[in-house]
Amino acid sequence: MKTSIDKSFGRIAGVVAVSSAVLLVGWLALTVPAWAGALGEAGTATTSSDSRLWVHTAITVARKQIPLPPGLWAMAGRGDESLTDPLPGAYGVIESIALLKMEGGSVGSFIIIHANALPVDRGWGTNDECVASNPALIRIYDDHSPDFFCAFGGPVHVRRDAAAPKFWLQALDVIRARGWTLPDRWLMSGFRISDRHDVVEVRYYDQAAPIPLAAPPRQESAVIPASWSGSIGGSPGGLASGPRDAGDQAAHPSQPAPWLVVLSGWSDRMKGAIEQGFKGRLSDTQDIPILPSEMSSGTHKAQETPEAGQDSNPLLALFQKSVVKMLSWKVIGISSGLTIKYLFIGNFSTAATLQVATSVTTGVLYVGYDMLWETLFPDKPKMRINFSSVAVRS
């Protein structure tokens, strides 16, 4: 009795296994060639599995890895673009890629990637979004020229005009052809990372709905200071504090918008993977944070882990040095000036008074001279190189 049950069970299991294998092979045979074509042009997934859908941790674009949050990503658009600004040198082309993640019949999130095909040798500067002053997330992680690393973001709405970049029009065509819907408003979180040779700019567009976009932050407190996130996480951010982070929060203690809290926390968690990917060192087992909208609302604050800053303030060090140098120069300059004046005048108290008068006058004059010089010959602003955009600020 027992054996006959075993036998019939085994037979059923065998039939099921064989038929599902046949189905799987057939399905692969039908679909893989179509995928492989798209894949061949577009770089490869970091693991050996060749498909147009990535469930893996990263996609490689122009030899740089870009981390993908968990999920099934499909490539919908790909194109080569060239910059209008030839500053960086011969970069070949800028490879641009659009990845979609579906949720029901709608695009749940998408990723836009730009990366240079050929290395240059003078760095890639920054982009407009990392130096913007209107309400937006900006976190500068590294600004030691020629290296640059910044996170940026905010609410945007997608472009559907004919002048949008080609690879994006291609993605829009795919979306239309499949009858999918593409919401209008998104919460964008981007990273720009570059060294002397290469650049990657990646933007993660997340559903705006689960995160309230209402109550935009006041204009003045829009740039989120790195030290501000310390008020949630407990430790002050150091590295992230660019020069434009200073100030505002004391004067405007108003609560920042929820999306700003969410995006800044997410950027800090994603940052490590972006950096690892830029170095080509993302492993398959790497933990890539899920997109902000997929987190339950309660976890937003709990996961806030801003980095503690380790660098001492370079401006302070420079100031210290200047003061010590100024003092040592003043000792030399005043004693030599006093000696010369005494030799000419022959009266020590007159010479000393004259020395005090000239020291004070030149001190005051120097400030004016320095300011005039800086105004006439200002430091040139950082090179800004922007890539094509598929969405505009809302």
* Site residues (vs other proteins, CB under 8 A): 63-64, 80, 82, 86-87, 89-93, 117-119, 121-122, 144, 147, 195-198, 278-281, 310-311, 317, 320-321, 324-325, 328-329, 332-333, 336-337, 340-341, 344-345, 350, 353-354, 357-358, 361-362, 365-366, 369, 373, 377, 379-380, 383
Q: Which residues contact 222 (CB under 8 A, 6 or more apart)?
A: 133, 134, 135, 136, 260
State the minimum distance, in angstroms, from the CB of residue 369 to other proteins: 6
Residues 267/193, Cβ–Cβ less than 8 Å: no
Q: Which is nearer to other proteins, 9 or 366 (CB)?
A: 366
Q: Which is nearer to other proteins, 155 or 237 (CB)?
A: 237
Q: Which is nearer to other proteins, 67 or 153 (CB)?
A: 67
Q: Which is nearer to other proteins, 55 or 308 (CB)?
A: 308
State the minimum distance, in angstroms, from the CB of residue 20 to other proteins: 36
Structure tokens at 233: 């996480």
Q: Which is nearer to other proteins, 210 or 272 (CB)?
A: 272
Least Cα distance to 155 among 306, 262, 268, 305 occurs for 262
d(CA 99, CA 97) in angstroms, rounded, equals 7
Residue 96 φ then ψ, to 5°: -125, 135
Q: What is the gyration radius of the CA atoms in the chain, in angstroms?
A: 29
State the minimum distance, in angstroms, from the CB of residue 117 to other proteins: 7
Q: Which is nearer to other proteins, 252 or 382 (CB)?
A: 382
State the minimum distance, in angstroms, from the CB of residue 194 to other proteins: 12
Q: How many helices (H) and strands (E) does the chain have?
A: 7, 11
Structure tokens at 387: 């890539």
Compute the half-sphere exposure of residue 124: CA atoms within 13 Å on the CB side of its CA: 29
Residue 388 φ then ψ, to 5°: -60, 145
Q: Which is nearer to other proteins, 119 or 216 (CB)?
A: 119
Least Cα distance to 79 among 107, 39, 41, 46 occurs for 41
Upstream peptide bond of 306 is cis (omega within 30 degrees of 0): no
Residue 119's alpha-carbon distances to 44, 81, 87, 144, 195, in angstroms, are 19, 15, 13, 19, 10
d(CA 73, CA 52) in angstroms, rounded, equals 8
State the minimum distance, in angstroms, from the CB of residue 46 to other proteins: 11
Q: Which is nearer to other proteins, 16 or 317 (CB)?
A: 317
State the minimum distance, in angstroms, from the CB of residue 333 to other proteins: 6
Written as one string, the DSSP assignment of 22-35 is: HHHHHHHHHHHHHH
State the minimum distance, in angstroms, from the CB of residue 170 to other proteins: 15
State the minimum distance, in angstroms, from the CB of residue 39 to other proteins: 16
d(CA 276, CA 279) in angstroms, rounded, equals 5
How many other C-beta atoms are found inside a 10 Å radius of the C-beta of residue 358?
Answer: 15
State the minimum distance, in angstroms, from the CB of residue 281 to other proteins: 5
Q: Which is nearer to other proteins, 38 or 383 (CB)?
A: 383
DSSP letter (8 states) at residue 181 = B
